[in-house]
């Protein structure tokens, strides 16, 4: 899942807001689809972990690890009797060759202390840090002197907006401060699209220490952005009646810095098991499942797919459910509170008790292109860096190398996978009936 600025996945809203009425009794939990078990979900996660282990620890778009991941899910969906298309996807591939960051003479360690944002420009800069607030307002860089490197806080606007504003102000690099909850490293991030020509790095507050405005700093980034190709994997039931379609999907790629087993191997495993539980001939409308490429680089796969549909094809899609990070180790199981209310009701019924919480998803994941095209959307999510039970991050390995098989809570994942299958099946029945 992409964690762009401003922070797009918000804190939990009170439970009373979930239902619109605090006196509503808890619905009973439906019987689980027998096909979805911990063992089968674990099999898919282990396969994706093995793919990453064999390919430099990553399943990022444009890498052999992603290609192998796409091959795995396509084979499993064909085995389940679904029709599978591997849609070619042009995208801008970012490759980081080397990077360094020193502050007050201390050489920091990439991944542990700082990260280079995808689509950062290349170059070298040395000078004094200049505190520029959030870097979002027109006047934030007005006091920047020649040779100074702006130091901006994370929040309020996108990374790209901060970087572009700094570049326009004459900066030769920009440093963003990340208030990382985890001590395990700095999460990967992206500028979403190429175009910024200066180095853009994110440093953790912990690594920054007492340094700040006026501290000496040097930044060096050697990176290249080139045109490449990856793919979306799209599967559809051969059976199903009528012209209407119900969709669910989630991204298949990881960030470059890790294997992405919660983010979003958990979603991929859920969708594979949903396909096996529903089968190739659902009692209702056709069902289509999607595994998106290059989500971590800016929702590239889902945007491309929605743009490829003509108006009549878009109208056929009656609902889209997004599955992104559904096995977090310190989970708060939730649905998208800003999604379509009618889909939220279906998800709540499918989940049973305990009731799903609500999060504000905004444009943080692959539901956004569907929403923008006028298609009703909602989704499931169990948490990233937000504070969860005990005040700890819901997933302390978000966008890090430690997002491995052991990072996923199998009981949470089983619940969310069964909820997905029940909800998709119910939506297909409802779409066919209308």
Cis peptide before 6 (omega within 30 of 0): yes
- Residues annotated catalytic, as ranges: 295
Nearest to 383 by CA among 329, 338, 337: 329
Spatial neighbors of 177 by CB under 8 A, at least 6 apart, are 151, 152, 153, 154, 202, 203, 204, 205, 208
Report how far residue 79's alpha carbon sits from residue 74's, in angstroms, rounded to the nearest whole number.
9
Report how far residue 171's alpha carbon sits from residue 87's, in angstroms, rounded to the nearest whole number.
40
Q: What is the sign, positive or negative, of the torsion defined by CA atoms of 48, 51, 57, 63? A: negative
Please check whether residue 321 is in contact with residue 427, taking contact to mean a CB–CB distance below 8 angstroms. yes
Q: What per-residue string of b and e applies to 239-276 under the rule 16 or more CB within 10 Å gives b?
A: bbeeebbbbbbbbbbbbbbbbbbbbbbbbbbbbbbbbb
Nearest to 320 by CA among 355, 364, 366: 366
């Amino acid at each position: 899942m992409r964690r762009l600025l401003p922070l797009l996945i918000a804190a939990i809203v009170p439970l009373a807001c979930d239902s619109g009425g605090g006196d509503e009794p808890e619905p009973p939990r439906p019987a689980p689809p027998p096909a979805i078990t911990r063992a089968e979900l674990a099999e898919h996660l282990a396969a994706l972990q093995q793919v990453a282990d064999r390919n430099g620890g990553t399943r990022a778009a444009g890498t052999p690890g992603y290609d192998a991941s796409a091959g795995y899910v396509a084979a499993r969906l064909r085995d389940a009797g679904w029709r599978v298309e591997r849609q070619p996807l042009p995208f801008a591939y970012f490759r980081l060759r080397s990077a360094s960051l020193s502050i007050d003479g201390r050489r920091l360690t990439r991944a542990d202390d700082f990260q280079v944002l995808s689509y950062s420009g290349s170059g070298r800069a040395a000078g004094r840090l200049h505190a520029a607030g959030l870097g979002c307002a027109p006047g934030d860089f007005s006091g920047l002197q020649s040779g100074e490197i702006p130091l901006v806080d994370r929040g309020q606007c996108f990374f790209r907006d901060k970087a572009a504003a700094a570049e326009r102000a004459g900066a030769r690099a920009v440093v963003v401060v990340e208030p990382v909850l985890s001590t395990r490293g700095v999460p990967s991030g992206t500028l979403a699209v190429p175009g910024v020509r200066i180095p853009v790095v994110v440093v953790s507050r912990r690594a920054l220490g007492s340094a700040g405005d006026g501290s000496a700093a040097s930044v060096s980034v050697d990176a290249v952005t080139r045109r490449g190709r990856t793919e979306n994997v799209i599967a559809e039931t051969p059976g199903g009646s009528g012209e209407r379609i119900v969709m669910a999907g989630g991204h298949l790629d990881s960030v470059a810095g890790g294997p992405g087993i919660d983010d979003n191997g958990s979603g991929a495993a859920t969708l594979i098991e949903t396909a096996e539980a529903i089968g190739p001939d659902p009692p209702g409308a056709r069902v289509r499942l999607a595994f998106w490429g290059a989500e971590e680089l800016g929702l590239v796969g889902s945007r491309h797919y929605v743009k490829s549909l003509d108006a009549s094809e878009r109208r056929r899609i009656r609902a889209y459910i997004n599955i992104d990070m559904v096995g977090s180790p310190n989970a708060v199981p939730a649905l998208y509170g800003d999604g379509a209310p009618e889909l939220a009701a279906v998800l709540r019924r499918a989940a049973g008790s305990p009731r799903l919480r609500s999060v504000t998803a905004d444009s943080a994941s692959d539901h956004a292109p569907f929403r923008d095209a006028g298609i009703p959307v909602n989704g499931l999510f169990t948490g990233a860096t937000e504070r969860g039970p005990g005040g700890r991050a819901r997933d302390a390995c978000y966008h890090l190398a430690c997002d491995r098989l052991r990072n996923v809570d199998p009981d949470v994942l089983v619940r969310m996978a069964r909820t997905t299958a029940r909800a998709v099946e119910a939506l297909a029945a409802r779409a066919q009936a209308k």
